[in-house]
């Protein structure tokens, strides 16, 4: 009988893949892979597995989500087991919830194999804990990708005084910083941006909220990257 898995591939470093992800990946007939997945992860797929690259990186050409679901269903109905391999964790800005709903609506059970999300791993890679008793009683994961009616309520987020971890926010970093400053967040709030976290090409910058966008631009940092805003960003390595 065919089976379906949504598997988190972790933040980049292949050694951060979970044992369960390795085991389940080795069972799949077909593996649908996102761009952000480290290609080294595919060493754990079967030699005869069909590997399908489906994109899904912000700002770049990607396979439409309905097409990905349709491919999964076609393979599953043909009796093939399917692994949907996503960067980080499939349920953290990975659209895994949508894919689970689509499969369940088609009467197909799906197993979720969690992964380490970049929102925790990227800060940790430079020594930043997303929570700390002296700096933040909690952490909020938020996408910076939205605009217009999909824009995050930055004023409400600033008022929480919790660590903000922003995914997909590099292209709108100026707008995000301006919105937080307008909401009253102190201009000297510590911040960090980490590109390609846990990979050999990892780079980062640290700056105050007021200067973050300029420092990121000067360093030429781009996506994929995680932005951390809050007192915890003053901790760790320089």
Q: Tell me which residues are annotated as active site.
A: 34, 56, 168
Q: How far apart are CA 96 and CA 115, in angstroms?
A: 12
**227-238 b/e with 16+ CB inside 10 Å = b?**
bbbbebbebbee
Q: How far apart are CA 24 and CA 65, in angstroms?
A: 23
With 0-12 / 13-18 / 19 or more C-beta atoms within 10 angstroms meaning exposed / middle / buried, residue 215 is: middle
Closest CA to 207 of 182, 180, 183, 189: 189
DSSP class of 49: P
């Amino acid at each position: 009988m065919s089976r379906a898995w949504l598997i988190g591939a972790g933040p980049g470093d292949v050694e951060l893949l979970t044992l369960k992800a390795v085991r389940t990946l080795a069972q799949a007939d077909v593996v649908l892979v996102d761009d952000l997945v480290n290609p080294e992860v595919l060493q754990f797929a079967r030699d005869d597995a069909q590997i399908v690259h489906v994109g899904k990186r912000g700002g770049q050409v990607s396979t439409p989500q309905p097409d990905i679901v349709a491919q999964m269903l076609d393979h599953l109905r043909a009796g093939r087991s399917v692994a949907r391999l996503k960067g980080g964790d499939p349920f953290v800005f990975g659209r895994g919830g949508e894919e689970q709903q689509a499969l369940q609506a088609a009467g197909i059970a799906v197993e979720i194999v969690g992964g380490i999300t970049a929102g925790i791993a990227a800060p940790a890679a430079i020594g930043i804990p997303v929570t700390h008793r002296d700096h933040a009683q909690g952490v909020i994961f938020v996408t910076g990708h939205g605009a217009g009616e999909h824009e995050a309520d930055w004023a409400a987020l600033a008022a929480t005084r919790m660590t903000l971890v922003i995914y997909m926010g590099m292209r709108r970093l100026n707008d995000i910083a301006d919105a937080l400053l307008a909401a009253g967040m102190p201009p000297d709030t510590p911040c960090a941006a980490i590109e390609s976290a846990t990979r050999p090409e990892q780079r980062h910058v640290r700056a105050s909220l007021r200067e973050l966008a300029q420092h990121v631009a000067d360093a030429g940092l781009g996506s994929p990257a995680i932005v951390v805003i809050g007192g915890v960003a003053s901790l760790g390595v320089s």
